[in-house]
Structure 1
Amino acid sequence: MLAACLALLAGFVDAVGFLRAGGYFVSFMSGNSTRLAVDAQAGLGGVLIPLGLIGGFVGGVILGALAGRAAGARRKPAVLGLVALLLIGASIAARVGAPALVLEALVLAMGALNNVFQRDGEVAIGVTYMTGTLVRLGQGVAARIGGEEGTSWLFNLALWASLVAGAIAGAAVQVHAPALSLPLAASWAAAMTAWAVRLTANPPAGQLSEGAIPA
């Protein structure tokens, strides 16, 4: 449930960022890498935006990883707290009319968000990008057709559907009430932080360990 809710947040933020950046992404770095290559045909000046976003995303991953390492067993709420602070920063930057800072704060937040779920020091669930999720969905369906048991395809389908639903909501809010889009994202991240604090303090009986997260 937490992973699905974070995918919802990622979809919301990416749609908002996409519309604000005029066709660039704040969480989908494969898309920005392609844009960088295409924009480079117009000269080096054309690569500055995608290059800055890619660098910001990597920087966000680094910040989130460091925050998680420092927090130890409280990694989830620590990382989500960082994400919430960055989204609050994006909201403030939007209020003062600093669009470049808005995008950098958003891309830092999305990079950091991928540190929430880890297994053996590696990302267990990437909540801001769905290519791998869709590959695992297809593999899970194939396994099911072949008679193998398992529900991992449902888990991956839920992740993808959550990101799409979040993106639909983010696009709608950004188009019809743009002043609310970033505060809503920050509020959602704050709520997820509070939820992660509760889960860390009182893990529900029978919950999946990170080593048992469906692949």
Structure 2
Amino acid sequence: MTDINWGWKNELYSAKSPREELAYYEKTAKDYEFEFRGMLKYCGPEMCMQTLLDCETQLEFVVPRNCRVLDVGAGTGLSGEALMREGFIGKIDALEPSDNMFSLAQAKGIYSHRYNDLIFPDTETSVPSCSYDLVISIGVFNTRSTTSDCLWEVVRMAKHGGYLSIYFNKLHWDQGCFKERLIELVAAKQIQILSLEYKPYYEENEAVSFVLKKL
């Protein structure tokens, strides 16, 4: 196994707010892809896309590949690259608050528009309501900054009849209240849960990956 310096994990996981986490990514943006893809073999974008593809096959529907997509927490554009590999050729926008992360993503020529908001519970971002056919979020939700209460805001961004594909560390799924928030969203007739499964994350860690339909 590669000799990995786990100091990044201690620093990131010590963040107590969205702004503290943003400061971490501003500082480490230039090393992000090398550490996560090269050293940790992070496979989040591929696993999230695979969950969506499997869901399409099993439930016999297709998200139009020329649809309007929002990448929540676009980072350096790894998720945007995964979208393009799966044939998404329509307008792809990014929600990414880190200037340094997004400067790397922007160089890849994937995104049409950027929102630079942080996501807070009970606070609307500048993303218009019901605007996107597909909303993806990969490695964003956690128990320290973008918490389970932010699920309502991300669902707001999707069009009625649109889809959301969300993937994040299972540790946060187990320790947070994500299951409870999904139950609340279902009870409020906001979403239908189409798929929920566990996928590889990095190293020996697992992720939760699910697909929702906005009602």
**Structure 1-normalised TM-score?**
0.27
**More strand by proportion, 1 or 2?**
2
